[in-house]
Every structure is written in C-alpha cells, then in structure tokens.
C-alpha cells in the first residue's frame, strides 16, 4: 500500500520514528513515541516541510497516512480543518501572527484526534513571536501538535527546542532525487538526472529546473560567467549580468503573485464599492499587503542571487574533482571541455580560494550587503588566476 512517507527520499532513518509516533498517537494521549512538539531540521531542499506535512497527514488520516483519502488530500492542499500549514513569504513571522494563530488553534480538533500546526519557517520567528509560541508549546494537556521546520537547531530559540523532539533530515542522494522526479513527477530519465545533479540533492530546485525552461536557460547563462572573466571590465560586467539574471527571475515570479494577491484582497473588500468606511479599510489593508510583498520581493532576489552563486561554485568544484581524478562525479557534464581546460591551468590552491570567496560572498549577502557591490568584488577575485 502506498503511503505519504513514500516520497521522503533518503530519510528512512526518520520514517520509522514518525510511523511509530502515528501508531502511538491513536490512543489520543502523550506517550514516549508521540509527543506534541517536534522540530524538523535539514539542509535546504532536503524536504523538511514535506516530512512535516506527511506526518500531519498521517496523524489525521484514518489509515495512518494513505495519501489517497479525503483527510490526507485536504491536509496537503491546506484545506483540512484541523491542520494549519504556516508558510512565510515575508522576512519574519511576527508576534501578531502567532497570537492570531493561537486563537485559531485553541479550539478542540473537529475530528476528535489531533490538531496539527506545521510551521515551515520556524527560523523566521521574531523573538517576541517565539516567546508567544513557547507559552503554547509549554501548555500541558493540549490537543495541538506543533511541527516546526528550520535549517538547523541553532535557528530555533533554545527554550523552544528544549521542549521539542528533534528529527534531522539528510541531503538525499542524486540517485534518490532522480528516481523521485521520474516516479512522482513523470519527468524523463535524462532530464531527471540532469536536474538532480545540478541541484545537488535539493528536491524542490531539481523539480523546478526539470519543469521550467527559463530556469534552465538562466542557469546556463550563469554557468558561462566563470569563462568570461578575462579582464577587470569583463568581471564587472559578469557581476552585473549575475545580479540582472537573478533579479529578473525573482521579480517575474513575485510580480505574478503580487498582482493576484492584491486583486483577491480588493475583491474581498468589494472592488469598486463607494461606501466610505469600506474604501478606507481596504486601502489600509492593501497598503499593508504591499509592504509585505516588498519585503518578500527583496528576499526572493536575495535567494535567487544565492542560488546563482551556489551554481557558480559547482563549476570550480567540478574543476577540483577533475584535478583529483574524480571526474565521474562532475556535476556540469555538459561543460566538460571547459572544466578540463581550467583543471589544466588553474593551481588547486587558487580553486579553493575561489570557492571560499564565493561562500564568503554568500555570507555577507545573507547579512544584507548590497548585492551588486558584493558580486563585483567576488567576480574580481574569481578573475584572478
């Protein structure tokens, strides 16, 4: 029989724990296996939120997570009355949002089992939001199960994480991701292999690359940049190109979403209504939404630049692999000729410096450094022999 846990590739070590918890949860009370607060951590793309959602499905499903019943499907689509999936598009989760959430989940579960909250970005809780959440997690006898997701345990407030059971996900292997894309998303084997390789075990990104032609052509342009660093002027141009491509990809995605959101909001407030109170109310909420959208757009551009820098690193990584005689594990097989050429003339120490410089650029960008200047400095470093 198929199960919601089937798609958690490379995570066999936690699936048994989750299944045990689901079986124990049927008694409706706490036990050693089943507890009411969990933290899922793992590298980006390892599927920590998919694991949490699968667990939520299994908790509310009469068949312990069949994936086919109404409970399982409405949980996945966000429509189950006892399951809340909190996805954050903004830079942080604020205390008001947590207070609102706590009021919503204060009711007993409608189906009599558990009420489940999946928080996909628990690392974005502000300190006051985390403290409000802590109070709820501490409450004894609650029927609510909290499933928090974060990159690492350090991203969760110590007081919260000490009350949670911790599950650490692994980066799935390239083969596991390839198989998932073929079986789940019906992607051709050649494309699945390419996408799994270039996204280095990041499931969401692999799927995006495999199904999105413009993402593939953007990536191709980025991967040409290391080959175009012949002069200072060229290096500066490469930085501009990188920022432009990353911004374009992110902006297009967020504009489509922004427009739909504003429209929906205006409809909810009665678009074209003339009542004075209604108009002022709507204007205020639209303004708030626009502010939220702006912070999300900033984050998407930053994420997109970060992704481009990670892609760039794979080129130098491949050069290093060829130098070590480990050429089977080259990620960018389509650039093999150029990789061999660079492996011939770049000293190994210089490649390590370039990889370190790229990682350092990612770090300062994460601290809100100006993207273009950071990329210019990086490209100048990459241009050096």
Residues in the chain: 385
In terms of CB distance, is 25 or 313 closer to Zn ion? 25
CB of 4 to Zn ion, least distance (A): 7
CA 271/CA 279 separation, integer angstroms: 9
- Map the footprint of Zn ion across residues 169-228, applying CB under 5 A: none
Of the candidates 243, 246, 245, 284, the one whose C-alpha atom is nearest the C-alpha of residue 265 is: 284
Residue 6 binding Zn ion, by CB under 5 A: no
Token reading at 105 = 């989940």
CB of 69 to Zn ion, least distance (A): 3
CB of 74 to Zn ion, least distance (A): 10
**Which residue carries 């692994």 as its tokens?**
170
CA 95/CA 307 separation, integer angstroms: 30
Q: Which residue's Cβ lies closest to Zn ion? A: 61
In terms of CB distance, is 66 or 377 closer to Zn ion? 66
HEC letters along 330-363: CCCHHHHHHHHHHHHHCCHHHHHHHHHHHHHHHH
In terms of CB distance, is 28 or 62 closer to Zn ion? 62
Please give the C-alpha separations between residue 189 and each of 46, 185, 186, 243, in angstroms, as whole numbers. Answer: 21, 11, 9, 32
- Map the footprint of Zn ion across residues 49-68, applying CB under 5 A: 61, 63, 66
Can you spell out the DSSP letters for 129-173? HHHHHHHHHH-TT--EEEEEEESSGGGS-HHHHTTSEEEE--PPP
3-state secondary structure of 347: coil
Give yes or no for a contact between 260 and 319, defined as CB atoms under 8 angstroms apart.
no
In terms of CB distance, is 51 or 330 closer to Zn ion? 51
In terms of CB distance, is 22 or 222 closer to Zn ion? 22
Task: Quote the crossing angle between the two packed helices 232-268 and 276-323, to the nearest 10°.
Answer: 150
CB of 136 to Zn ion, least distance (A): 27
Residue partners of 63: CB distance under 8 A and separation at least 6 = 69
In terms of CB distance, is 22 or 322 closer to Zn ion? 22
In terms of CB distance, is 63 or 168 closer to Zn ion? 63
In terms of CB distance, is 67 or 307 closer to Zn ion? 67
In terms of CB distance, is 66 or 262 closer to Zn ion? 66
CB of 28 to Zn ion, least distance (A): 18
- Determine which residue in the list 17, 24, 69, 333 makes contact with Zn ion, applying CB under 5 A: 69
Of the candidates 284, 310, 221, 292, the one whose C-alpha atom is nearest the C-alpha of residue 254 is: 292
Q: Mask of contacts with Zn ion, 72-91, x by CB under 5 A?
A: x-------------------
CB of 70 to Zn ion, least distance (A): 8
Count of positions on this chain that bind Zn ion (CB under 5 A): 5
Query: How many H-runs (helices) and E-runs (strands) does the chain carry?
Result: 15, 5
CB of 309 to Zn ion, least distance (A): 41
What is the DSSP code (8-state) at residue 226?
G
Burial label, 190 (beta-carbon count in 10 A; 0-12, 13-18, 19+): exposed
CB of 339 to Zn ion, least distance (A): 47
Q: Mask of contacts with Zn ion, 275-314, x by CB under 5 A?
A: ----------------------------------------
CB atoms within 10 A of CB 120: 21
In terms of CB distance, is 69 or 289 closer to Zn ion? 69
CA 60/CA 52 separation, integer angstroms: 13
CB of 73 to Zn ion, least distance (A): 8
- Contact range with Zn ion by CB under 5 A, out of 9-17, 71-79, 87-95, 190-198: 71-79
Token reading at 151 = 């990159």
CA 222/CA 308 separation, integer angstroms: 7
Give yes or no for a contact between 98 and 133, defined as CB atoms under 8 angstroms apart.
yes
CB of 33 to Zn ion, least distance (A): 20
Q: What residue ranges bind Zn ion (CB under 5 A)?
A: 61, 63, 66, 69, 72
């Amino acid at each position: 029989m198929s199960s919601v846990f089937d798609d958690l590739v490379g995570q066999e070590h936690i699936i048994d724990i989750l299944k045990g918890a689901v079986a124990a949860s049927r008694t409706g009370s706490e036990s050693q296996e089943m507890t009411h607060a969990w933290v899922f951590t793992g590298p980006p793309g390892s599927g920590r939120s998919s694991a949490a959602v699968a667990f939520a499905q299994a908790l509310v499903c009469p068949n312990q997570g069949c994936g086919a019943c109404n409970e399982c499907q409405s949980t996945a689509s966000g429509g189950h009355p006892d399951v809340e999936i909190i996805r954050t598009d903004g830079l942080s989760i604020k205390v008001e949002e947590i207070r609102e959430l706590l009021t919503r989940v204060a009711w007993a579960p409608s189906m009599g089992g558990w009420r489940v909250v999946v928080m996909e970005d628990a690392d974005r809780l502000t300190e006051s939001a985390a403290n409000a959440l802590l109070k709820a997690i501490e409450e004894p006898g609650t029927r609510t199960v909290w499933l928090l997701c974060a990159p690492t345990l350090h991203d969760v407030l110590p007081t919260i994480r000490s009350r949670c059971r911790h599950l650490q996900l692994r980066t799935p292997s390239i083969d596991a991701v390839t198989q998932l894309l073929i079986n789940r998303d019906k992607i051709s084997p050649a494309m699945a292999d390419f996408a799994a390789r270039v996204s280095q075990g990041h499931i969401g990104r692999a799927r995006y690359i495999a199904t999105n032609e413009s993402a593939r052509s953007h990536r191709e342009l980025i991967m040409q940049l290391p080959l175009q660093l012949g002069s200072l002027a060229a290096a500066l141009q490469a930085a501009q190109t990188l920022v432009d491509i990353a911004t374009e990809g992110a902006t297009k995605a967020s504009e489509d979403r922004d427009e739909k959101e504003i429209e929906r909001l205006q409809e909810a407030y009665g678009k074209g209504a003339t009542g004075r109170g209604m108009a002022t109310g709507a204007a205020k909420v639209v303004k708030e939404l626009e502010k939220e959208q702006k912070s999300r757009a900033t984050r998407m551009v930053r994420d997109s630049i970060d992704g481009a820098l990670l892609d760039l690193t794979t080129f130098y990584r491949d050069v290093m692999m060829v130098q070590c005689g480990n050429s089977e594990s080259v990620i960018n097989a389509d650039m093999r000729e150029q990789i061999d050429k660079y492996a011939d003339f770049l000293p190994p120490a210089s490649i390590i410096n370039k990889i370190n410089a790229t990682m350092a650029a990612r770090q300062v960008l994460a601290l809100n450094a100006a993207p273009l200047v950071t990329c210019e400095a990086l490209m100048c470093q990459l241009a050096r022999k």
